[in-house]
């Protein structure tokens, strides 16, 4: 073994041993099983974006107030900035990247496009995920129910009307 | 290079107790993370070691114990809202849960976390106060119960020992003829910390209040019972004059502060208004 490789191995083990604790977390992301090595208290948001390169999920506030980091874990929409990765061991995670299938847009994504439900787009992944969680549980939501379902998702651009229009349209399309 | 905290994620209470009993090891207990992770993200949580109890299923479940409901500490607000038992026997807790955060927080935040976090503004706490709930506590040394209204020693201080966990909260059922109430005043209808939050239950005999419990949050260092106001109202006949007296009494009884969310004056005034809102409901 050449000395460079030995040095690299030693330094990475030493650095990890003294300064960081890593764990293996095995979980399903958008239908695919992943194994990630990360500090156990690292935020799910950061693991998705950094280790898994799924940058669709955004950080807006880091305190669970804006919903830009929303993902679905075991069927429930949550703020990934508030979940340490150790807590998703063995779980199923859906991010915005998992909405389209084989290149075909989810009816929600299509509806957002048609209704003009996105302007800058920073809230959009979170909105789509919150909407997906709603429609998975309630196929025919009223506008009030839609508003409640996205109450944890802030948008600074649209004024929410077209977002609600889009979700309503997506629900109708699925009905047909 | 930062020092990352260690985490233990036991699957059983026995394992959790054993870890908590280890001497010279301060473990920060984390459940749904909706309070602690906010602090961590703001670099305001100085913990080197965590005890993650999210997997301890023994802490989940809502059971009917006859005269009371036993609610596991890891019960989320979403579960409370969807629970037939809570809807029927403690509807104010459903109302409170709906006002907490939004879907993302409700799916992860737990009633045990709300209790242990001990914020004066915790929205489920006035309900537990008004309902005379009981906290069930456990450790390797055994289990014990503490009246919810005796669980707080002061601002953000609970009666928990370092090796203890809150296991459940026991909530007496709303009795036949009793009515309950919950109202939260916040800047928005979601994602808002309360300026004042009130829960109450009362038993009426015609226009006379036979018994009344009033729990209030965000108006003192801990959640409180407005006992002076309760004494004024017990056995009293609901009249416009009584309503005004009650409004004055609760306004003076509470000890709110002026902070970034609201002023002392606002809190005294609006708490009085919210109480009157309930009393008017009782009169109909």
The confidence band for B25, taking pLDDT boundaries of 50, 70 and 90, is confident
Residues A63, B42: C-beta atoms closer than 8 Å: yes
Q: Which residues of A touch B42 (CB under 8 A)?
A: 62-63
pLDDT of residue A17 exceeding 60: no
Residues B38, A87: C-beta atoms closer than 8 Å: no
pLDDT digits (tens, 9 = 90+) for B68-123: 999 999 999 999 999 999 999 999 999 999 999 999 999 999 999 999 999 999 99
In angstroms, what separates the C-alpha of B16 from chain A's closest C-alpha? 15
Whole-model pTM: value is 0.94
Percent of all residues in chain A with a pLDDT value above 70, rounded to a whole number: 87
Residue A45, burial from CB neighbour count under 10 angstroms (0-12, 13-18, 19+):
buried
Question: Could you tell me which of B60, B184, B73, B77 has the C-alpha nearest to residue B133?
Answer: B73
pLDDT of residue A91 exceeding 50: yes
In whole numbers, what is the pLDDT of chain A averaged over residues? 91
- The string over B8-46, giving b where at least 16 C-beta atoms fall within 10 Å of a residue's C-beta and e elsewhere, is bbbeebebbbebbeeeeeebbbbbbbbbbbbbbbeeebe
Residues A89, B9: C-beta atoms closer than 8 Å: yes
| pLDDT value of position A45 | 98
The H or E element containing residue B181 is: strand B178-185
Mean pLDDT of B127-156: 98
In this complex, which of B7, B102, B191 lies closest to A41 when CB atoms are compared? B7
pLDDT of residue A11 exceeding 70: no
The H or E element containing residue B180 is: strand B178-185
pLDDT digits (tens, 9 = 90+) for B187-215: 999 999 999 999 999 999 999 999 999 99
ipTM of the complex: 0.95
* B interface residues, A as partner, C-beta within 8 Å: 1-7, 9, 30, 33-34, 37-38, 40-42, 50, 52, 54, 78, 101-105, 107-108, 189-191
Q: How far is Cα B176 from Cα B203, in angstroms, rounded to an integer?
A: 9
Q: How far is Cα B223 from Cα A162, in angstroms, rounded to an integer?
A: 41
């Amino acid at each position: 073994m050449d000395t460079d490789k030995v040095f690299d191995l030693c330094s990475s083990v030493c650095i990890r041993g003294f300064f960081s604790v890593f764990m293996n977390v095995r979980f399903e992301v958008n239908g695919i099983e992943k194994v990630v090595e990360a500090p156990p208290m690292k935020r799910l948001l950061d693991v998705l974006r950094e280790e898994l390169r799924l940058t669709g999920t955004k950080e807006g506030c880091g305190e669970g107030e804006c919903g830009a980091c929303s993902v679905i874990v075991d069927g429930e929409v949550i703020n990934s900035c508030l979940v340490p990765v150790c807590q998703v061991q063995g779980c199923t995670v859906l991010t915005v990247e998992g909405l389209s299938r084989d290149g075909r847009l989810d009816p929600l994504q299509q509806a957002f496009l048609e209704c003009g439900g996105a302007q800058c787009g920073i809230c959009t992944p979170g909105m789509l995920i919150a909407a997906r969680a709603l429609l998975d549980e309630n196929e025919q939501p009223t506008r009030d129910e839609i508003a409640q379902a996205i109450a944890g998702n802030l948008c600074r651009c649209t004024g929410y009307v077209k977002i609600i229009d889009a979700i309503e349209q997506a629900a109708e399309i699925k009905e047909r | 290079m930062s020092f990352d905290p260690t985490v233990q994620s036991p699957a059983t209470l026995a394992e959790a107790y054993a870890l908590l009993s280890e001497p010279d090891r301060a473990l920060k207990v984390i459940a749904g993370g909706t309070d602690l992770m906010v602090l961590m993200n703001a670099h305001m949580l100085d913990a080197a070691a965590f005890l993650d109890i999210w997997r301890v299923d023994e802490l989940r479940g809502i059971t009917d114990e006859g005269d009371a409901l036993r609610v596991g500490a890891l019960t989320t607000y979403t579960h409370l809202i969807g629970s037939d038992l809570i809807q029927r026997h403690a509807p104010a807790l459903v109302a409170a849960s709906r006002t907490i955060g939004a879907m993302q927080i409700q799916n992860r935040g737990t009633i045990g976390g709300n209790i242990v976090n001990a914020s004066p503004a915790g929205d489920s706490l006035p309900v537990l106060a008004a309902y005379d709930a009981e906290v069930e506590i456990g450790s390797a040394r055994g289990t014990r119960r503490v009246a919810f209204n005796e669980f707080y020693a002061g601002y953000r201080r609970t009666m928990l020992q370092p090796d203890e966990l809150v296991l459940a909260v026991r909530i007496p059922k709303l009795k036949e003829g009793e009515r309950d109430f919950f109202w939260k005043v916040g800047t928005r209808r979601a994602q808002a910390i309360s300026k004042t939050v009130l829960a109450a239950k009362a038993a009426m005999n015609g226009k006379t209040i036979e018994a009344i419990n009033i729990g209030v949050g965000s108006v003192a260092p801990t959640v409180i019972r407005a006992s002076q106001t309760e004494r004024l109202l017990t056995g009293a006949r609901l009249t416009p004059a009584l309503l005004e007296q009650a409004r004055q009494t609760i306004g003076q009884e509470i000890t709110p502060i002026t902070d970034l969310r609201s002023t002392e004056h606002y809190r005294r005034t609006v708490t009085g208004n919210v109480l009157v809102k309930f009393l008017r409901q009782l009169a109909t």
